[in-house]
Amino acid sequence: MTMRLANGAGSLIDREKPVAFTFEGQTIEGLEGDTVASALLANDIWTLSRSFKYHRPRGPLTMAGHDANTLVQLPDEPNVLADRLPIASGLTVKGQNYAGSLARDRRSLIGTVGGFLPVGFYYRSFYKPRGAWKVWEPIVRDFAGLGRVNVDSRHGYYDKQYLFADLAVVGGGPAGLSATLEASRAGLEVILIDEMPAIGGALNFARFVNGHADGLADAVGSDPNIQVLSGATCTGWFADNWLAVVRGNRFYKLRAKQVAVATGAIEQPMVFRNNDLPGVVVGSAAQRLIRLYGVKPGTRAVVVAANADGYGVALDLHDAGVDVAALVDLRHDASPCHFSDQVRDAGIRVVAGHAVSEAHGRDRVTGVTVAAIVGEGDCAPSGERIDCDLLCVSVGYAPAAGLICHTGIKLGYDGDTHMFTAGGTLRDGLMASGSVTGAHALEAALAQGRRAGWAAAKALGANPGAEPAVPNDLGNRGVNHPWPIFPHPKGRDFIDFDEDLTVRDIKNAIADGYSEIELVKRFSTVGMGPSQGRHSALNTARLTAKATGRDVAKVGTTTVRPPLLPEKFAALAGRAFTPERLTPMHYRHKDLGATMMVAGSWWRPAFYGDPASREETIREEALAVRNGVGLIDVSTLGGLEVRGPDAAEFLNRVYTFAYTKQPVGRSRYVLMTDRTGAIVDDGVACRLHDNHFYVTATTGGVDAVYRQMLWWNAQWRLDVDVANVTAAYAGINIAGPYARAVLAPLCDLDLGAEAFPYMGVRTGTVAGVPARLLRVGFVGELGYEIHVPSSCGEVVWDALMAAGAEHGIRPFGVEAQRLLRLEKGHIIVGQDSDGLTHPYEAGMAWAIGRKKPFFVGGRSIEIQMKRGLARKLVGFTLVDPNAPIPEECHLVVRGKEIPGRVTSCSYSPTLEKVIGLAYVAPDQAEIGSEFDIKVDGGRLVKAVVVPLPFYDPDNQRQAM
Amino acid sequence: MTAMRKSFVHQPPSVEADATAAARMGLADLSLRPRTGFKGPGTMAWLAGQGLVVGEAANIAYPQSSGLLVAKLAPTEALILGGIDGNEATIDTLDRTWSIDTAAGCYALPRRDTHVWLRVTGSAAPVMFSKICAVDLRAAKFANHTIAQTSVARLNAIVVRDDLGATPAFHLLADSASADYLWRCLIDAMAEFDGAPIDENALHRLL
């Protein structure tokens, strides 16, 4: 049966554009502009999902995207609000939280035993005996829940954007629109955020009792100073007016100089038996259906009213062709409102001093019992049964004050108006207007909005003219009924639809001693569902107040924190920005078949070949260096220019070694310790000029080293300049017995051992490219580290590969380099050291300049040495050559003690045995001492301490 | 030497020079063009000695009659960009003239190699930047020749607004090793504005 109104109602839909989608496998015809919920209701389908705990059928409550009753399941996404989600051709939608079918949920039987499942039931019942929760948890989680995550779904595209504004107005209703226009007229740049597809708020659907606001939305839409973000939700206010705004798949980070909150008010449900049946809605939901979507909400309706808005709802239903069977006014002596005469003229029966005590129906309301109110919250035991398929409730509002609460404001309660109030003084740069402040009269809301816009302009130094006047009467009296709660002896009188909590649940929580509102929340979980208490907080506070003998103002509300609406992790993550760095020769490595690895933010060749032959390839690469010549890309090494008259003095203080007497043309090892004396980095310092050092640092450490240098330079105020030039240079290390032979034809320098000795530094050209050449020996062979402008890296790499072809040159990767340096006993900072390792522990006392007065960490090292060594890094081999090879971080054990750990270990193809570095107790560090390593499986492997380096102990090969 | 230079970006423009794209949302790679930099307390004096005219305010770019653009990054630091018509020789002269022995308190920076140089053009450029940069680069808020030293797609970056005629245009310089990453981020961010990589010759048509 179609419920689509035949007239022109439905401002959001396009009747010329039908859209088909499926719901529970059934094809549904809707119109462009429909939400899933409005399209289903247009087809008279009211049950969208099943409730969280009792699996009760649930349908839309607000049609505003404010309640959890409309959560539905999409193939790739659970918990989607059906009254927010636009329909699209081919969309597949299902209900949530049922077993079998949505119409016949087997688990709905749990509702019949609900009386035995009070709040806190599982706290008491499923935790004993010890360990029982592990059994029960998966069962409870399976029964209770929302949608299901599809772990196979593809990642969607989400991103973020920064926005800037003089004024951000949140809420596009009458107050927000007038604030926006007023500020714009004063010259402010304004961003208006509204959650609905079209701005206007209640102007688009409600029947106002006075005033008019024609043309406001059009004026906003055509103003070039105003950017409108409709269909967007501001989910949080943060310090300095930073607003989080989600629209579609984009997360906006909005920084505004001023913020005007005009978020309106949320219509509240009434509490009575079966108040959750599909077909029971707040009055504004019916109005939204009629005016926004052209949907007739029912055929025969009962309206419960406690304010003029309820009378307006009855008239709207009547105008839409709905048979309004009765307007039940909770008030005994309500004074006539502007709509009273129209209601009477429409022939609508008004029943004053009565309430709906119970709704009837199984999957949809089929009738209600209307009974006389005989006391606060008490209905007469019997009443009149009225058949209907729609029950609209208009009994009051709660301010949508979440954003205001994010600023630290706590909601108060006005006993005269029976409303929560966003009381207190708002912080500078924040204003509130409209019904969020209690201004329910249209003229008052408009005036408040104008004043907010004016105040923002004035605060920002504009000249907005005279301050707009605001009427004294905000229209907030006679809007909220003081006690729209009618508990029923048979229960099912829901306070919180999200969590299936009834009046009895709240009372029981209080009776158990959880009498403070925060405790009531935590014990009962009221307000902790997806709608975050929007429809439960006010009535819970009322119940708590009554049960504890306090007034509602004293009871207060729970703390409101961002986000206001659930935010998807995808929205928070946005488009991932993970910078990655490529060396100048990156694509050469790819062409050579390198298996790449991540090193910090860099990609580096681990080895050149298939991962399946990893170990073999690494050994071949290492042997190529030992016996022939190899080429490795070391561009990722940090490069720092330290220049100025005090450059040597600066290095002398920053590093452990001595540099003031270092000759030009020589390099020297650098070891950096922090103020605790722990090793943090190493490299070499190349003196290119009296006032110029080119200092290398580790790949992962250079940024921290650079920051430290800048910091110390600012402290010491030496005449020195430090520049990070890491990316400026391509670094290529050519190493092996044939290195000189390969390089010589390409280089304009004398590469002979005398002219260019080990640890020498020269500048010249390689393949015609200006180059800095360093004779260093990290891998322990004759080698030259060539640093050229990075834009020329590929050229030099190609030239070296070509020149080395006749010598069988082979590129080698990080893994072979690690093996080669291990054979030489060189440490890798961060692998063979940790955050506490000081130089003496690592056997690097030789790198400390003892005669200089100061270096960073020097004093700490002295103190540590007076305490004595606690461990020492040693080289080891295995006693049993056939024993399992220890791995990094395998423990060195001695009885029940753990004196140290393995830091590096590998089989050396050159030495044909397993070699490694490990921390051991000082008394285990003597050459020849044996110690145990606990390897995988718990087996103990015996190792023996040997001298370092393992390979070429006289260092003759690197000095060739 | 010049002939050996290669772009840091390994994903060259895929479309022909297109002034229309450049006016709407274009991205050009100028990494092969000349640029240099100097820093240190003696920098401004040394640059003045080379005939460059640089104002007092930092974070402002100062166009030179030679076509160079001197971006004053700090009171003691300048980034010098070649003009749209080249200026290779002028930049080379500056680099060759500089010496640690004669330029007291002024130290050369190898900007040609430390930084990839991209040109982001078009009316949509400021909005595109708002997806990857927290600085408000809209025309009314970020005047021509203003500099932002900020984060773009989580990279340290230098952004200099330097319009081409009436078309908003920005120099974007960032870590050269991250050039491919940055290029991909920009192409992605530009997509919703129908942005396209453009050949640098398209820039001339905007003047």
Whether A794 has its CB under 8 Å from any CB of chain B: the answer is yes
Which of A796-800, A854-858, A954-958 is predicted with the least confidence, judged by mean pLDDT?
A954-958
Asked if residue B185 belongs to a domain, the reply is yes
Which among B1, B100, B105 has CB closest to A769?
Answer: B1
Of A161, A581, A689, the CB nearest to B177: A581
- pLDDT on residue A503: 96
Burial of A561: CB neighbours in 10 Å, binned 0-12, 13-18, 19+: exposed
Q: Which of B38, B107, B154 is the best substitution to test chain A (most A C-beta atoms within 10 A)?
A: B107
Q: Does residue B121 sit in the same domain as residue B53?
A: no
Of B72, B92, B111, the residue at which a domain comes to its end is B111
- Please give the single-letter amino acid code of residue A846: W
Closest in B110, B114, B130 to A162, CB measured: B130
Domain region containing B168: 12-32+113-204
At A571-630, the pLDDT tens digits run 999 998 999 999 999 999 999 999 999 999 999 999 999 999 999 999 999 999 999 999
Quick one: closest CA in B to A644, which residue?
Answer: B105
pLDDT at position B5, please? Answer: 72
**Any chain B CB within 8 A of the CB of A627?**
no
Domains of chain A, start order: 1-110 (3.10.20.440), 111-143 (no CATH), 159-266+399-459 (3.50.50.60), 269-395 (3.50.50.60), 490-566 (1.10.10.1100), 830-946 (2.40.30.110)
Give me the residue from B109, B136, B154 closest to A164, CB to CB.
B136
pLDDT greater than 70 at residue A211: no
Check if A772 contacts B (Cβ < 8 Å). Answer: no
Query: Nearest-CA residue of chain B relative to A727?
Result: B114
Amino acid symbol at B67: G
Q: Is the pLDDT of residue A121 over 80?
A: no
Give me the residue from B5, B132, B188 closest to A791, CB to CB. Answer: B5
Mean of pLDDT values over A811-821: 97
Give the model's pLDDT for residue A231.
Answer: 96
DSSP structure string for A680-722: EEEEEEEEEETTEEEEEE-TTTHHHHHHHHHHHHHHH--S-EE
Structural domain ending residue among the three candidates B48, B80, B111:
B111
Do B58 and B160 share a domain, yes or no? no
pLDDT over 90 percentage in chain A: 90
pLDDT 10s digits, A415-432: 999 999 986 689 999 999
Give domain status of residue B5, yes or no.
no
Query: Over 50: is that where the pLDDT of A678 sits?
Result: yes
Indicate if B184 and B124 belong to the same structural domain.
yes
What is the SS3 assignment for chain B? Answer: CHHHCCCCCCCCCCCCCCHHHHHHHEEEECCCCCEEEEECCCHHHHHHHCCCCCCCCCCEEEECCCCCEEEEEECCEEEEECCCCCCHHHHHHHHHHCCCCCCCCCEEECHHHHEEEEEEECCCHHHHHCCCECCCCCCCCCCCCEEEEEEECCEEEEEEECCECCECEEEEEEEHHHHHHHHHHHHHHHHHHCCEECCCHHHHCCC
Q: How far is A168 from chain B (nearest CA, A)?
A: 16
What's the pLDDT tens digit per position in A683-692? 999 999 999 9
Residues B65 and B46 grouped into a single domain: yes
> Are residues B127 and B200 located together in one domain of the fold?
yes
Closest CB to B8 among A601, A635, A791:
A791
B151 shares its domain with B56: no
- Give the distance from residue A38's alpha carbon to the nearest chain B alpha carbon, in angstroms: 31
Does any domain span residue B148?
A: yes
> B13 pLDDT exceeds 50?
yes
Q: How much of chain A exceeds pLDDT 70, in percent?
A: 99
Same domain, residue pair B161 and B60: no
Average pLDDT, chain A: 95
Question: Are B120 and B195 in a shared domain?
Answer: yes
Show residues of chain B in contact with A706, CB under 8 Å: none
Residue B207 has pLDDT above 90, yes or no: no
For A265-303, how does the pLDDT look when each residue is reduced to its tens digit (9 = 90+)? 999 999 999 999 999 999 999 999 999 999 999 999 999
Q: Do A689 and B100 touch (CB under 8 A)?
A: yes
pLDDT (tens digit per residue) in B49-108: 999 999 999 999 999 999 999 999 999 999 999 988 767 788 999 999 999 999 999 999
pLDDT of residue A127: 80
Q: pTM for this structure?
A: 0.92
What pLDDT score does A617 carry? 98
Q: Is residue B179 part of a domain?
A: yes
Chain A interface includes B43 (CB < 8 A): no
The verdict on residue B187 lying in a domain is: yes
- Residue in chain A closest to B182 (alpha carbons) equals A579
Nearest-Cα distance to chain A for B78, in Å, is 13
Query: What pLDDT does residue A369 have?
Result: 98
d(CA A529, CA A566): 10
Q: Among B67, B90, B111, which residue terminates a domain?
A: B111
Label residue A360 by pLDDT band (50, 70, 90).
very high
Q: Is the pLDDT at B1 greater than 60, yes or no?
A: no
Contacts of A164 in chain B (CB under 8 A): 136, 138, 141
Q: Identify which has the larger pLDDT, A114 or A548.
A: A548
Give me the number of domains chain B comprises. 2
pLDDT cut 70: percent of chain B above it: 96
The mean pLDDT of A649-665, rounded to a whole number, is 97
Question: Who's near A206: CB < 8 A, 6+ residues apart?
Answer: A284, A287, A309, A312
- pLDDT at position B2 over 60: no
Nearest chain A CA: its distance from B4 CA (Å): 6
- A705-744 pLDDT, tens digit per residue, is 999 999 999 999 999 999 999 999 999 999 999 999 999 9
In what order do the strands lie in the sheet containing B77-81?
B60-63, B69-74, B77-81, B35-39, B107-109
Q: Is A608 on the interface with B (CB under 8 A)?
A: no
**pLDDT value, residue A334:** 82
The pLDDT, as a whole number, for residue A133 is 86
Structure confidence at residue A210 (pLDDT): 61
Supply the CATH number for residue B99's domain. Answer: 3.30.70
The pLDDT confidence band at residue B4, using thresholds 50, 70 and 90, is low
- Quick check: is B1 in a domain? no
Q: Do B113 and A729 touch (CB under 8 A)?
A: yes
| Average pLDDT of the residues in A860-876 | 95
Nearest to A721 among B4, B40, B179 (CB): B40
Q: Between A140 and A834, name the one with better pLDDT.
A: A834
What's the pLDDT score for residue B16?
67
CATH number, domain of B148, equals: 3.30.1360.120
Q: Which of A160, A162, A636 to mutate to test the interface with B (most CBs of B within 10 A)?
A: A162
| Residue A569: strand, helix, or coil | helix
Q: Quote the pLDDT of residue A120.
A: 74
Residues of chain A contacting B112 with CB distance shorter than 8 Å: 789, 791
Whether residues B133 and B103 share a domain: the answer is no
Residues B119 and B17 in one domain: yes
A331 in reach of chain B (CB within 8 A): no
Confidence of residue B17 (pLDDT cuts 50, 70, 90): low
Q: Is the ipTM of this complex over 0.85?
A: yes
Query: Which pLDDT value is given to residue A212?
Result: 66
User: Above 90 in pLDDT, residue A960?
Assistant: no
Q: Quick one: B128 and B46 in the same domain? A: no
When mean pLDDT is compared across A148-162, A262-276, A894-908, B8-22, the lowest value belongs to B8-22
The arithmetic mean of pLDDT across residues A876-887, rounded, is 96
Interface touch A790/B8, C-beta < 8 Å = yes
- Do B98 and B195 belong to one domain? no
pLDDT of residue A202: 95
Report yes or no: B92 at the A interface, CB cutoff 8 Å.
Answer: no
Give the pLDDT confidence score for residue B86 in this predicted structure. Answer: 67
